[in-house]
């Protein structure tokens, strides 16, 4: 590689993206410089604007340019049901795949003492205050089915009960269209243990 410090700096900057190593970053940098300079400038401008202007919604903690995000500002959404998710990507997945019309709370992580993520980092005091206001009747816990996600779900359920709110948990188990012989053991055991009566 040439001795350009600007090129090295660009490649190193691109490595901050998830899944991008040295070779991928180099390929991206070369592509932008060889063929996409105008789009590269637009990308740089969009990144700068986003980093400076996007913060968190005061109510749900999702990414927002305004004090309230568009979901929290929408008065037609059901304010009695609150869905708690780990990340903005989880919120987007629920919005795209379901007809959920309630409110959200985004933890921006899950309880993980080894990673330095405790109740303060997840905004759980803010969530407890929101639950104590008396408007929410059900809290849907939509954390991922990992060890940390399950520990977080347990903590959230206790928080909901303390606030007089009914906690519910997303169902986990056999995927729609899946065949039992191909489902891993822990998923099948979880689905079997959480079986429901048919009406």
**Please, which residues bridge with residue 63 across strands?**
56
- Over residues 106-165, the pLDDT tens digits come to 999 999 988 888 999 999 999 999 999 999 999 999 999 888 999 999 999 999 999 999
183 contact partners, CB below 8 Å, separation of at least 6? 174, 175, 191
Stated pTM of the model: 0.83
- Largest Cα span, the chain: 71
| Greater model confidence, 175 or 161 | 161
pLDDT at 177 > cutoff 90: no
CA gap 103, 62 in Å, rounded: 11
pLDDT at 166 > cutoff 90: yes
What integer pLDDT is reported at residue 171 of this predicted model?
Answer: 82
Instruction: Sketch out the chain's domains with CATH numbers.
Output: 78-199 (3.40.1360.10)
Instruction: Name the DSSP letter for residue 123.
Output: T
């Amino acid at each position: 590689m040439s001795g350009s410090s600007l090129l090295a700096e660009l490649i190193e900057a691109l490595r901050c993206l998830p899944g991008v190593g040295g070779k991928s970053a180099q390929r991206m940098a070369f592509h932008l410089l060889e063929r996409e300079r105008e789009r590269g400038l637009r990308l740089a401008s969009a990144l700068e604007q986003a980093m400076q202007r996007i913060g968190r919604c005061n109510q749900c903690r999702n990414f927002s340019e305004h004090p309230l995000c568009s979901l929290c500002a929408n008065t037609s959404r059901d304010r009695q049901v609150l869905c708690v998710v780990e990340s903005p990507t989880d919120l987007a997945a629920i919005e795209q795949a379901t007809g959920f019309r309630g409110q959200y709370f985004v933890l921006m992580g899950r309880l993980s003492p080894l990673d330095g993520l405790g109740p303060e980092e997840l905004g759980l005091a803010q969530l407890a205050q929101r639950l104590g206001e008396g408007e929410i009747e059900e809290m849907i816990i939509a954390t991922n089915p990992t060890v940390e996600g399950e520990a977080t779900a347990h903590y959230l359920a206790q928080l909901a009960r303390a606030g007089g709110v009914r906690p519910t948990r997303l169902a986990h188990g056999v995927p729609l269209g899946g065949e039992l012989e191909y489902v891993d053991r822990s998923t099948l055991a979880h689905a079997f243990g959480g079986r429901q009566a048919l009406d």
